[in-house]
Amino acid sequence: MKKITNCLINKDTSCFPVWFMRQAGRYLPEFRKIRSQNPDFIKLCLNSDLSSEITLQPINRFNLDAAIIFSDILMVPYGLGQEVKFIKGKGPKLSEFNLKNFLNNNRNDFTKKLNPVYEAIKKTRKKLSKEKSLISFTGAPWTLIIYMMGLRQDKKNINLNNIKNKNFEKDLILDKLNEYLCIHIENQLEAGADTVQIFDSWAGLIPKEELSSYCYKPNSKIVEFCKKIGLPVICFPKGIGRNYKEFLDSVKPDGLNIDYDVDPLWARDNLDNVCLQGGMDPKILFEDEEKIFLEVDKYLNTFKNSPYIFNLGHGLLPETNPDVLDKVIKRVNSFK
């Protein structure tokens, strides 16, 4: 059994599997070379040969236990008919949300539009060694709605009234989006993925009294679906602090990625019957080697008797030095 699967399903504590969010991408010179020749990000994600090549770049460099497919959470809105552009220095920009068009989508058209993503998974699985996991992913409904409906005002604020004033539409959109996220997950499983991570990147912007309706319930439906089709699932409700416990009790995923604002000791003592993942601040990798290793060891020692996958509390940053990352991976793999 693959190390990550064993940790997620059997709660194995004999070793620390290791992989990183955004391990395929912008910090690697070989990726930057491809990206410079492919300025349209969506088209790059839809190029199955290049997507597969990019996915395997970190596997060719480092002793990692998983590849994560090179794609983006906004491929789902793209598959549902919204135009998606990535503007340098500003991030993603989506065309205006149209409820009628959104509801008129169908499974076949959606799958056909995202078929290059599934082809990239097939190609990657053929080239990836059998003992390594191939992780697929999707955004959670709440996080996708923020992008699809243009609710984000800045990194810390959203215009919640734009959706709260339309409760009927909100429920309709959440249910329909959930349906297509499950289709996307199932398609990725059939293509060769063996694990899925659900990114709720903007969960921390949800008021506490709304967490159940916007975060717990939508994530729970996806987790139930993943368990039904036999796909191990990791959730990442970034930024919800000690509400991680309530999330875990409600959603019950196989794995739970903690962010860098969560105290690892608190997580170990309060988040039970789950494989924990991540936690370390990606910016630590910019420090000197002694400080980096102290932080790495802190997480490894904290979770040495618990099921734990070494990762970060967010994705790798573009300024990360690949040589530093290699040393961290070797540190994790040699930990006794």
Residues with Cβ within 8 Å of 289's Cβ and at least 6 positions away in sequence, in order, are: 324, 327
Please state, as a whole number, how many other Cβ atoms lie within 10 Å of the Cβ of residue 191.
Answer: 20
Please tell me which residue in 27, 78, 118, 147 is annotated as part of the active site. 147
Please tell me which residue in 22, 78, 244, 268 is annotated as part of the active site. 22
Please tell me which residue in 12, 35, 152, 260 is annotated as part of the active site. 35
Catalytic residue status for 35: yes
Q: Give φ, ψ of 280 to 5 degrees.
A: -70, 140
Catalytic residue status for 152: no
Catalytic residue status for 72: yes
Please tell me which residue in 12, 26, 281, 331 is annotated as part of the active site. 26
Please tell me which residue in 65, 72, 194, 200 is annotated as part of the active site. 72
CA distances 212 to 120, 216, 240, 286, 299, Å, are 35, 5, 12, 37, 29
> Residue 334 — left, alpha, or beta (φ > 0 → left; ψ -120 to 50 → alpha)?
alpha
> Residue 241 — left, alpha, or beta (φ > 0 → left; ψ -120 to 50 → alpha)?
left
Please state, as a whole number, how many other Cβ atoms lie within 10 Å of the Cβ of residue 155.
Answer: 8
- Residues involved in catalysis: 22, 26, 35, 72, 147
